[in-house]
Structure 1
Amino acid sequence: MERFRLLLISILSLFIVFLGIPLEGDAKFPDGKVINYVALGDSLAAGKPPYPSEENGNGYPEYIAERFEQSNYDISLSNHGENGHTTADVLTDLEDEDIQKDIKEADILTIDIGANDLLAHFFVGDLAGLQSASTTAVDNIDKILSEIRNLNEDVDIYVMGYYNAIEPYERYRDLEYKILPLLQHFNDSIKEVTESADAVFVPTFKVIAKDYDTYLPHADVHLSEEGYQAVAKEFWKKMTPRKYGEYGE
């Protein structure tokens, strides 16, 4: 009988895990404690939709916050993503006292930045400038992560890698054989400085490549709603408490 009882408990536990029902101890914080989540970045964080839509909607940070809520976490999102932001813009943002305050109080921080540093060169076919801009952007990302760590050494930082945003542009596809190696190198470099800052790199290239028609439906670098949800899921895989341990003490 005792053996049967233990077997039943094991089966029920596995069933709960597969359903995604939060178990006691999954949460990092005691009941009533709010997780402070700060998002930094460009239009992907800000939720800019693809053409012809103009008004920002939900970016991936909102869908990440939604996943926390669905897992019974109390979460407060401060989204500082801005359309058109470059790495230099984020460095300037980090001088803002309100943003500094949010980071100091943050438990989780996500960031995607660097694409706009490169796109200005890409759209005019300046491949040499693209390589130079990539190097500068990575150096700035390194500085950004260092500054975040100076403000809050305990915050969990997640840095997004970029997907192939030129796939929807038919007129640029003949350049993909030149551009994609540069993008891969850019992502590899972001990953390197991310891990040096004791942060987590979140790749998105493969997941978006699985369904360009759904995630990048127009000749636009910005994702559809489904695309932002897919990116949020990639972040969530890295954040899942059951995989990475409890969220704090």
Structure 2
Amino acid sequence: MIRILLIVFSVFILLSGCASSSLYSSSISDKKNNLIEKLNPPESFTSRDLKIVAIGDSLTAGVGDESKQGGYIGMVKKMLERETGLKEVTLSNFGIRGHKTDDLLKKLSNEEVISRVKEADIIVMTIGANDIMEVVRGNILSLDFEPFRNEKKNYEDRFSDILSTIRKHNTEAQIVYVGLYNPFKLMLPELTEIDIIIEEWNNSSQRLIQADPNSNYVPVDDFFSRESVDKLLYKDEFHPNKLGYSLMADRVFNAIKNEEINYLSSE
């Protein structure tokens, strides 16, 4: 009788051990599967393409970038490709040297530009410096605040039309506007009034940009207002050099990246 009880007890212990081993193996297997899922997220998260359209003047065209990276926007493209893990980042750059706000409005009526704007996830632009330059040229012998402030009203109207035109073709893209800096800091250092003019025009642009919930104003005038501004400018003493563009690129990239993180996390 005792022998039978010992046999039954031994069998019970053996079966219990097998059951525990099975549960342990199952637990290990579940953890392994969970890890594989985390290491291999859904394809939709990692395979998204990002389409950028750049519009505006010589800064968007990259004039002065000795490294031939395409100025700030070319650098931003490389930073996005390196940092975000997106499948592909495509850039359509329509920046043209010398363009003013009225030129950009005409450019936005071009069929190719319209097509790219419609498909864009992000639209980046620099505009306004040549509008100010035109006022300087027209009033070089008697520069004061009045002609700049009169033209600022026209600039605001055209800037507003630019934003409206973009939104007519694309209601969802993130718009990033890179603000103005004083391009005459080295050429005409005695014109300290230009700093005030730049600030006033930037305030107008910022106000119009911030009225759109999916737009960002990126200031850069603080870079070029320092005593070491000569280290940030190209040999023409007007456009940024590689270092100047890289500082601009950092801020534009951060503005874009913050929005993209919010976008991806909501998918």
Measured against the shorter chain, the TM-score band is 0.7 to 0.9
**Bigger RCO of structures 1 and 2 (CA < 8 A, at least 6 apart):** 1
Gap regions ≥5 residues in structure 1: 1-22
1:238 aligns with 2:250: no
Q: Is the 8 A contact 1:107 1:155 kept in 2?
A: yes
Alignment of 1:188-203 (within 5 A): 188-198=203-213, 199-203=215-219
2:190 maps to 174
Structure 1 residue 76 corresponds to structure 2 residue 97: no
* Preserved contact between residue 69 and residue 75 of structure 2 (Cα < 8 Å): no
| 2:34 alignment counterpart | none
Deviation of the 1:24 alpha carbon: 9.1
- Cα deviation for residue 207 of structure 1 reads 2.5
> How many angstroms does 1:145 deviate by?
0.6
Q: Tell me if structure 1 keeps the 8 A contact 2:75–2:249.
A: yes
Map 1:1-249 to 2 at 5 A. 30-49=45-64, 58-71=70-83, 72-73=85-86, 74-123=88-137, 124=140, 125-127=142-144, 128-169=146-187, 172-176=188-192, 178-198=193-213, 199-210=215-226, 211-216=228-233, 218=235, 220-241=237-258, 245-247=262-264, 249=267
SS of structure 1 residue aligned to 2:224: helix
8 Å CA contact 1:216–1:223 kept in 2: the answer is yes
Q: Structure 2 vs 1, CA of residues 242 and 101 (structure 1 numbering), >3 Å: closer, same or farther? A: closer
- Evaluate the alpha carbon distance shift between residue 56 and residue 91 of structure 1 in structure 2; reply closer, same or farther with a 3 A threshold: farther
Unaligned runs of 5+ in 2: 1-38
Q: How many residues align?
A: 219
Q: Is the 8 A contact 2:230 2:237 kept in 1?
A: no
Separation (CA, whole Å) in 1 of partners of 2:190 and 2:76: 35
Distance (whole Å) between structure 2 residues aligned to residue 188 and residue 242 of structure 1? 22
Q: Which runs of 4+ in 1 moved over 4 A?
A: none
Provide the TM-score with structure 2 as the length reference. 0.74
Could you tell me how far 1:208 is from its partner in structure 2?
3.0
Task: State whether residues 208 and 230 of structure 1, in contact with CA within 8 Å, keep that contact through their aligned partners in structure 2.
Answer: no
Question: Is the CA contact 1:46–1:79 (under 8 Å) kept in the aligned structure 2?
Answer: yes
Q: 1:192 to 1:242 in 2, by over 3 A?
A: closer
How many angstroms apart in 1 are the aligned matches of 2:156 and 2:200? 11
Asked whether the equivalents of residues 86 and 117 of structure 1 are also in contact (C-alpha less than 8 Å), the reply is yes
Query: Which moved further from structure 2: 96-105 or 132-141?
Result: 132-141
Alignment partner of 1:167: what SS?
Answer: coil
**Partner of 2:99: helix, strand, or coil?**
coil
Partners of 1:69 and 1:75 within 8 A in 2: yes
Once residues 190 and 244 of structure 1 are traced to their aligned partners in structure 2, the CA distance between those partners, rounded to angstroms, is: 25
Q: Distance in 2 between matches of 1:24 and 1:187?
A: 45
Structure 1's 208 and 234: CA in aligned 2 closer, same or farther, altered over 3 A?
A: farther
RMSD: 2.6
Counterpart amino acid of residue 135 in structure 2: H
* C-alpha distance in 2 between matches for 1:141 and 1:59: 23
TM-score (norm 1): 0.79
Amino acid aligned to 2:262: G
CA shift, 1:244, in A, is 5.5
* CA distance in 2: counterparts of 1:24 and 1:214, whole angstroms: 46
